[in-house]
Amino acid sequence: MASRAIWKGQLRLSLVSIPVEIHSATKTGRRVSFRQIHGPTGKPVNYEKVVAGVGPVDKDDILKGYALGDNEYLLIEPEEIEAIRLETKKTFELVQFVGAAEISPLYYAQPYYIVPTDDLAEDAYRVVRDALRRSGKVGLGQLTVHGREQLCAVRPCGDGLLMETLFYADEIKDADPLFSAIADEPADAELLAVAEQLIARKTAPFDAAAFTDNYDKALRALIEDKRKGRAPRVTAEGSGRASADNVVDLMQALKESLKASGGAEPARGKAKASARKTAARKADPQDEAEDKPAPRRSTRKAG
């Protein structure tokens, strides 16, 4: 089935306008979904638009209402909303460029593909793609789609361009109420050394295809068994991993994890020596200044 564009218009960079289409980069409906069924009759449950004291209503009689409080609403006609003229309905202008690592992952929402509409648009499209690639920058702009003006980031993706919608600053929750109770003190050096070895042992290039939705697979197996009249397959409990009740000693748990991943159990003396070496190195003020990392931009929303 051919992909259908969710937006058509002009991608603009200063005085250069490129006719483009924007398509969703993710699939919908691939996962198992269920309908609500009325048990006694086996018929699907339907939903109707109803008004108290009136009953079902025609969809053409439904308006948008802004709640004023005390069960009062300010009614807005569809024509009034359509009359709001936003240039971003038809033009997506890249107004700023930032380093690719400057945007916290916290802000990214949904990915989309940007494609040129015809062969004539491809030359300018490739120039923008390659300029972003060589500069290591991400373009920022806004466009109106799905009934709202979205903040978007554009970056190279393979032979094309990827657009990702971003949350606005006021849509991000402040992390302080959640993180403030976490003690602000360094982790134990010996525990940290073992954890770092475990991370190094499990480090590999990212490959999304290596991960599967096991819950979806189990649901499909259950559906297939019931469809064919077989008894549903039962998965044995436990995956060989330590449960919370079994993890009594954090160091022992980390060592066991390292051994299970194919790494050698670290010697306690070696970890302590590493910790002493680190402490000695940082005792020198000059070394400490050299080791001090560059200030990093905070990813928390301003209060």
111-151 pLDDT, tens digit each: 999 999 998 899 999 999 999 999 999 999 999 988 889 99
pLDDT at residue 280 greater than cutoff 50: no
Question: 51 by DSSP, 3-state: which?
Answer: strand
Same domain? For 132 and 165 the reply is: yes
The verdict on 22 and 93 lying in the same domain is yes
* pLDDT tens figures, 194-225: 888 888 888 889 888 888 878 888 888 888 88
> Mean per-residue pLDDT for 101-112?
94
160 and 199 together in one domain: no
In a domain, 272, yes or no: yes
Q: How much of the chain, in percent, has pLDDT values that exceed 70?
A: 81
How buried is residue 104: exposed, middle or buried, by Cβ count under 10 Å (0-12/13-18/19+)? middle
- Domain co-membership, 143 together with 191: no
Q: Which segment of 67-76, 121-130, 170-179, 284-293 scores lowest on mean pLDDT? A: 284-293
More confident residue, 273 or 90: 90
Which of 9-13, 212-216, 282-286 is predicted with the least confidence, judged by mean pLDDT?
Answer: 282-286
What average pLDDT score do residues 35-58 get?
92
Both 127 and 147 in a single domain?
yes
Token pair listed for 258: 């390292």
Per-state percent for the chain, helix, strand, coil, to nearest 5: 35, 25, 40
Residue 165: inside a domain, yes or no?
yes
**143 and 15 together in one domain:** yes
Looking at the structure, do residues 133 and 192 belong to the same domain, yes or no?
no
* CB distance 166 to 129 below 8 Å: no
153 with 118, same domain: the answer is yes
Q: Is there a single domain that holds both residue 90 and residue 158?
A: yes
- Kindly state whether residue 198 falls inside one of the protein's structural domains: yes
The total of structural domains in the chain comes to 2
CATH number at residue 115: 2.40.290.10
| Domain span holding position 129 | 7-26+84-171
pLDDT value at position 265? 57
Say which amino acid occupies 126.
Answer: R
Is 243 a member of any domain? no
Whether 279 has a pLDDT exceeding 50, the answer reads no
Distance CA 141, CA 120 (A): 23
pLDDT for position 228: 85
Tell me which of 129, 153, 171 is where a domain ends: 171
Domain contains 35: no
pTM: 0.70
Task: Say if strands 43-44 and 37-38 run parallel, antiparallel, or are unpaired.
Answer: antiparallel
Half-sphere exposure for 272 (CA within 13 Å, toward CB): 3
Tokens of 286: 């000059």
Q: Are residues 90 and 161 in the same domain?
A: yes
- Domain assignment of residue 93, yes or no: yes
Same domain for 140 and 252, yes or no, is no
pLDDT category, 57, cuts 50, 70, 90? very high
More confident site: 278 or 7: 7
The answer to whether 153 and 161 are in contact (CB under 8 A) is no
